[in-house]
């Protein structure tokens, strides 16, 4: 899922970004209406793909995706599934099983990717996509973009959120706020509606799954509970089809294609297209000619298979059931029955699957809402939030929750939860502990995030020490540990000796896998890649929509008068053509087309001026 945008003032612009696993989208609040902004090529969706061409040029978006089959090892997609993660070598092997590019472990077990002969941190890949989207926005707006609100899956942990922030910094953006994707979708769903009641946002995108339950009432969006799976999405459905095709091909020809990267990429492309077809058809035909050439004899082998909805359902039934189990758990945690949900909002491309829609309908006992666009709703919600922050609007109140529990490590290697997941933020909570050894001089506080009982299975967010405790038998000295979380999700942790009042505290600063020094170096490199906005081009870009709006306003009123003049139908056709060209130029954001359209519209408005004067009886021939 995508990118959204809103004007802050004449000097700076705040954008909201939903960086999707498969695609990204940009939107703006224009005259109070959230509106999708097309890319410079006119597309509403930008593939979240980065590549390096044979000549060393970096490619982003559609052009990177198109060359993926012939250059699979240098084409990176689905980077969002890896951002902010730390993997062992075994986990890396499993995570990259179907990926043509190389996935590696960094010095601190952070994930790195091989691109163009270099080892690249995952936030750098995401930054390239964000930078491309930023340039699209700047071309459309005609001025620099400096600040951003970014949406992430609700179940992202702090490391994944920080890595996403790092990507924004590398792309040259000040990241003002991170909000959850289901919450953004709810903002878009509720915008302009007098809707009150409980809604469920079922978000199954390309790489992640989230389910959130919210209470909507008079501009207040309160998240009651949320959960998800950051490794469950459309990619997993694709992988099941790929395995089915691989097994069928091996059964037919005795050839294993798993090490043939170009063939694997063609299989992925064929599987994805077939999956899309099944959203509207009962079966899909997969035909991949010359998929593999036998090493002995040089005979070319072709793949031809028919995939039915029934087969697809059987292959992916357990994945759908995983989403329903998580959904049931969230409603149980919120103490809400499915019948209490007034609307079910589907988000993400994988929810187009009939098997997913049927499962959701069975669980909630009602048809999901058709009121939002599956691919664009999160971007529109991000635009609304960006606009609210930029203009300090008070008509929308967003009350989000902590997606995962927060606590500390205690004796025995266990995790003691202090703030349970699904607690509304901002919030504060504290708990008292005692020493576990006689004459214990101090205590080390290890801050954890996660819901596992064993401390080692949770994410370590930070640690600090409280020293100078009174020498006493174990259990006598009490320490109060306090957690404070701001509305932005910033966590402060303090530990205080109850008897003496002595205190130590930290602000948790999670690592996204890159050190501060690495981030500064990479950010400087990417700043060199940014193209400055041409002031003259920016002025023209800002002028085009005004001329177009005026021409579109005058044309209907002047059409009858125009037809009565000696200019006749030919002049009317030219005026309509000029307006059509202006619309195309506004969508494409091409400078040549912009300049040409401005000239056409200026001549059209001069013509309209003459017609108005003639109708008023004030026109005189020169």
pLDDT digits (tens, 9 = 90+) for 513-568: 676 677 777 777 766 554 444 556 656 666 777 788 888 887 777 777 766 655 56
Summary mean pLDDT of the chain = 85
Question: Which range, of 207-221, 362-376, 440-454, 544-558, averages the lowest pLDDT?
Answer: 544-558
Which entry of 181, 238, 376, 459 is annotated as an active-site residue? Answer: 181
pLDDT digits (tens, 9 = 90+) for 338-367: 999 999 999 999 999 999 999 999 999 999
**What does the alpha-carbon distance between residue 606 and residue 620 come to, in Å, rounded to a whole number?**
14
Is residue 247 domain-resident?
yes
Which entry of 80, 165, 198, 275 is annotated as an active-site residue? Answer: 80
CATH number, domain with residue 259: 3.90.640.10
Using the predicted structure, report yes or no on whether residue 2 has a pLDDT greater than 50: no
Residues 501 and 548 in one domain: no
**What does the alpha-carbon distance between residue 428 and residue 348 come to, in Å, rounded to a whole number?**
34
Q: Is 253 exposed, middle or buried (0-12, 13-18, 19+ CB in 10 A)?
A: middle
What pTM value is reported for the model? 0.78
Residues 547 and 602 in one domain: yes
Can you give the pLDDT at residue 1? Answer: 44
Last-in-domain residue among 507, 526, 545: 507
Mean pLDDT confidence for 84-95: 70
Q: How many domains does the chain have?
A: 3
pLDDT digits (tens, 9 = 90+) for 278-288: 999 999 999 99
Tokens of 581: 């060209």
Is residue 593 domain-resident?
yes
Is residue 180 domain-resident?
no
Tokens of 197: 């009641």
Last-in-domain residue among 267, 290, 316: 316
**What does the alpha-carbon distance between residue 403 and residue 489 come to, in Å, rounded to a whole number?**
10
Find the helix or strand (DSSP H, E) in which 191 lies.
none
Alpha-carbon dihedral sign for residues 256, 262, 267, 268: positive
Last-in-domain residue among 316, 337, 369: 316
Residues 423 and 489 in one domain: yes
Which entry of 138, 203, 210, 229 is annotated as an active-site residue? Answer: 203
Q: What range does the domain containing 296 cover? A: 234-316
Is residue 183 domain-resident?
no
Is residue 545 domain-resident?
yes
Tokens of 192: 């302009």
Residues 564 and 608 in one domain: yes
Residue 5's pLDDT band (cuts 50, 70, 90) = very low
Residues 491 and 570 in one domain: no
| Catalytic-residue membership of 18 | yes
**What does the alpha-carbon distance between residue 487 and residue 461 come to, in Å, rounded to a whole number?**
18
Is residue 285 domain-resident?
yes
Is residue 291 domain-resident?
yes
pLDDT digits (tens, 9 = 90+) for 318-335: 999 999 999 999 999 999
Residues 489 and 542 in one domain: no
- Do the beta carbons of residue 367 and residue 246 sit within 8 Å? no
Residues 500 and 590 in one domain: no
Question: Which range, of 62-66, 220-224, 394-398, 498-502, averages the lowest pLDDT?
Answer: 394-398
Residues 502 and 412 in one domain: yes
Using the predicted structure, report yes or no on whether residue 233 has a pLDDT greater than 90: yes
**What does the alpha-carbon distance between residue 407 and residue 119 come to, in Å, rounded to a whole number?**
35
Is residue 438 domain-resident?
yes
- Do the beta carbons of residue 511 and residue 162 sit within 8 Å? yes
Which strands make up the sheet holding 209-217, listed edge to edge? 343-347, 197-204, 209-217, 220-229, 397-399
| Catalytic-residue membership of 203 | yes
Which entry of 18, 229, 343, 400 is annotated as an active-site residue? Answer: 18
Tokens of 288: 């991949």
Mean pLDDT confidence for 67-86: 88
């Amino acid at each position: 899922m995508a990118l959204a945008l809103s004007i802050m003032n004449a000097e700076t612009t705040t954008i909201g970004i939903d960086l999707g696993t498969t695609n990204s989208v940009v939107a703006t609040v224009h005259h109070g209406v959230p509106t999708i902004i097309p890319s410079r090529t006119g597309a509403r969706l930008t593939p979240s793909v980065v590549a390096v061409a044979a000549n060393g040029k970096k490619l982003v978006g559609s052009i990177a995706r198109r060359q993926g089959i012939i250059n699979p090892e240098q084409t990176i997609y689905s980077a969002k599934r890896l951002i902010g993660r730390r993997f062992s070598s075994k986990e890396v092997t499993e995570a990259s099983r179907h990926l043509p590019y190389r996935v590696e472990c960094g010095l601190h077990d952070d994930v790195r990717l091989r691109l163009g002969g270099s080892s690249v941190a995952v936030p750098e890949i995401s930054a390239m996509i964000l930078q491309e989207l930023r340039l699209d926005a700047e071309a459309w707006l005609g001025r620099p973009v400096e600040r951003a609100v970014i949406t992430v899956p609700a179940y992202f942990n702090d490391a994944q959120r920080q890595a996403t922030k790092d990507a924004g910094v590398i792309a040259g953006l000040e990241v003002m706020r991170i909000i959850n994707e289901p919450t953004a979708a709810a903002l878009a769903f509720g915008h302009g509606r007098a809707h009150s009641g409980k809604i469920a946002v079922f978000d199954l995108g390309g790489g992640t799954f989230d389910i959130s339950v919210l209470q909507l009432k008079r501009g207040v969006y309160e998240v009651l509970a949320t959960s998800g799976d950051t490794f469950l999405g459309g990619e997993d459905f694709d992988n099941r089809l790929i395995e089915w095709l691989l097994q069928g091909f091996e059964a037919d020809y005795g050839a294993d294609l798993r090490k043939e990267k170009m063939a694997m990429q063609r299989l992925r492309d064929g599987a994805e297209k077939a999956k899309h077809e099944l959203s509207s058809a009962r079966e899909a035909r997969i035909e991949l000619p010359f998929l593999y050439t036998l090493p002995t004899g040089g005979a070319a082998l072709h793949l031809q298979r028919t995939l039915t909805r029934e087969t697809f359902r059987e292959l992916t039934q357990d994945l759908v059931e995983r989403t329903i189990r998580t959904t049931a758990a969230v409603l149980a945690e919120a103490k809400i029955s499915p019948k209490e949900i007034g609307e079910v909002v589907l988000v993400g491309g994988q929810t187009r699957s009939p098997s997913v829609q049927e499962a959701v309908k069975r669980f909630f006992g009602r048809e999901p809402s058709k009121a939002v666009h599956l691919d664009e709703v999160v971007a529109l919600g991000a635009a609304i939030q960006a606009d609210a922050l930029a203009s300090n609007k008070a008509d929308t109140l967003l009350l989000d929750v902590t997606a995962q529990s927060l606590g500390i490590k205690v004796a025995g290697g266990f995790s003691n939860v202090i703030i349970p997941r699904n607690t509304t933020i901002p919030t504060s909570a504290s708990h008292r502990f005692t020493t576990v050894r006689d004459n214990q001089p101090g205590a080390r506080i290890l801050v954890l995030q996660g819901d596992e009982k064993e401390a080692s299975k949770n994410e370590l967010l930070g640690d600090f020490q409280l020293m100078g405790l009174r020498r006493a038998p174990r259990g006598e000295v009490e320490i109060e540990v306090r957690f404070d979380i701001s509305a932005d999700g910033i966590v402060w942790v303090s530990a205080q000796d109850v008897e003496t009042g002595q205190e130590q505290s930290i602000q948790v600063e999670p690592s996204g896998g890159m050190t501060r020094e690495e981030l500064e170096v990479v950010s400087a490199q990417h700043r060199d890649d940014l193209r400055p906005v041409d002031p003259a081009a920016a002025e023209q870009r800002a002028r085009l929509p005004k001329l177009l709006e005026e021409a579109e306003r005058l044309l209907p009123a002047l059409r009858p008068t125009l037809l009565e003049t000696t200019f006749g139908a030919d002049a009317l056709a030219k005026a309509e053509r000029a307006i059509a060209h202006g619309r195309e130029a506004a969508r494409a954001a091409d400078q040549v087309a912009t300049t040409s359209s401005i000239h056409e519209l200026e001549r059209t408005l001069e013509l309209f001026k003459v017609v108005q004067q003639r109708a008023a009886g004030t026109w005189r021939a020169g």
